[in-house]
Chains A and B, each alone.
Chain A
């Protein structure tokens, strides 16, 4: 089945630095990728939708200059948390949709970000 590889699985960074999270679709072309954030004991909150070759669409309240999304190819999307602060500490998960599979939302394994 479809596989999305997400890296890193966890990262600890200092406040003020930037962190890049990668999601790769391994065996299909992901024309659309979704990025979610999940705080402890809460559900997944959609941050943005990225379509290959175009600008990402951000959900209300999500700072596009802080959470940079790049979807330059059909198999790779990246999320960069710029100038991270402790309140950005969260579980970040990507999801890709395979156009051939109507209900093929495939999730990455998630990235646990801790900002100290």
Chain B
């Protein structure tokens, strides 16, 4: 199985930076994903890391260290609309599945004025 841990909630002010950490333990690692989810909606894709390092995409960046089983999602220049749950998800190859995606519990980010 997989253990995926991330903080439950983080609060930050508009315009600030917030870093959401995620640690994981898995076999057959096949990539780490970050998704944003607003209440009652499906998750939307933010980023994907399969190699070590930093991937930057606009205001969002994601980092991966496979040896440490660690990733973070960095949100810069926070906007009120960034208030949402951020889900860390790990893809793993198994004998019976090509890339099973398991999610962490999610981090609720609250952006205040």
Show the binding face of A for B, using Cβ within 8 Å. Answer: 31-32, 34, 36, 42-46, 49, 51, 57, 91, 93, 95, 97, 102-103, 105, 107-110, 112
Contacts of B31 in A (CB 8 A): 102-103
Residues of chain B at interface, number, CB under 8 A? 23
Contacts of A31 in B (CB 8 A): 98
- Does A32 contact B99, Cβ atoms closer than 8 Å? yes
- Does A97 contact B41, Cβ atoms closer than 8 Å? no
**Do most interface residues of chain B lie in helix, strand or loop, or is the interface mixed?**
strand
Given A44-B43, A44-B87, A107-B43, A32 and B97 touching (CB < 8 A)?
yes
- Does A93 contact B42, Cβ atoms closer than 8 Å? yes
Show the binding face of B for A, using Cβ within 8 Å. Answer: 31, 33, 40-45, 48, 50, 87, 91, 96-106
- Does B103 contact A57, Cβ atoms closer than 8 Å? no
A45–B98 Cα gap in the complex (Å)?
18
Given A34-B101, A49-B97, A49-B100, A109 and B42 touching (CB < 8 A)?
yes
- Does A43 contact B105, Cβ atoms closer than 8 Å? yes
Contacts of A102 in B (CB 8 A): 31, 50
